[in-house]
């Protein structure tokens, strides 16, 4: 999970861990990029903020991770709508969008749905 808001990162991690998911977290894309070589192949799902500090945004990060692990599923979330500045967010294969604010239940439902998809 990559999220620059520490409070949201902690709440999200807590909700996921309470439901049996193992979570690795990073506060920005720079830290996520540093951790990725150790995790590639063992991660099934990337949950990332779309807009965050660092060398790349969440969509770019997802694209890079999926180049090294094509079966990686991605949940991109943002406080912005999916229709960003009049342009619809184009999602790649295995990617879905979740608008902030979201409840833990909404996130958990979407995580299960994404992981259950072939």
CATH number, domain with residue 67? 3.40.50.2300
Q: Average pLDDT over the chain, rounded to whole? A: 90
Q: What does the alpha-carbon distance between residue 82 and residue 97 come to, in Å, rounded to a whole number? A: 7
Q: What does the alpha-carbon distance between residue 60 and residue 30 come to, in Å, rounded to a whole number? A: 12
> What is the extent of the structural domain holding 87?
6-116
- Asked if residue 75 is part of any domain, the answer here is yes
96 compared with 88, residue with greater pLDDT: 96
Mean pLDDT score, 67-76: 96
| pLDDT for position 86 | 46
Q: What does the alpha-carbon distance between residue 67 and residue 70 come to, in Å, rounded to a whole number? A: 6
3-state secondary structure of 83: strand
The pLDDT-based confidence of 90 (bands split at 50, 70, 90) is confident
Bridge partners, 78 (sequence order): 99
The pLDDT-based confidence of 91 (bands split at 50, 70, 90) is confident
| pLDDT for position 102 | 92
- Asked if residue 42 is part of any domain, the answer here is yes
């Amino acid at each position: 999970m990559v999220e620059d808001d520490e409070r949201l990162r902690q709440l999200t991690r807590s909700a996921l861990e309470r439901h049996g998911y193992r979570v690795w977290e990073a506060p920005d894309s720079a830290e996520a990029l540093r951790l990725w070589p150790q995790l590639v192949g063992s991660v099934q799902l990337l949950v990332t903020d779309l807009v965050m500090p660092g060398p790349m945004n969440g969509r770019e990060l997802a694209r890079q991770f999926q180049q090294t692990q094509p079966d990686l599923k991605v949940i991109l979330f943002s406080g912005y709508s999916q229709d960003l500045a009049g342009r619809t967010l184009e999602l790649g294969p295995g990617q879905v969008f979740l608008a902030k604010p979201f409840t833990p239940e909404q996130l958990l439902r979407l995580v299960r749905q994404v992981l259950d998809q072939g």
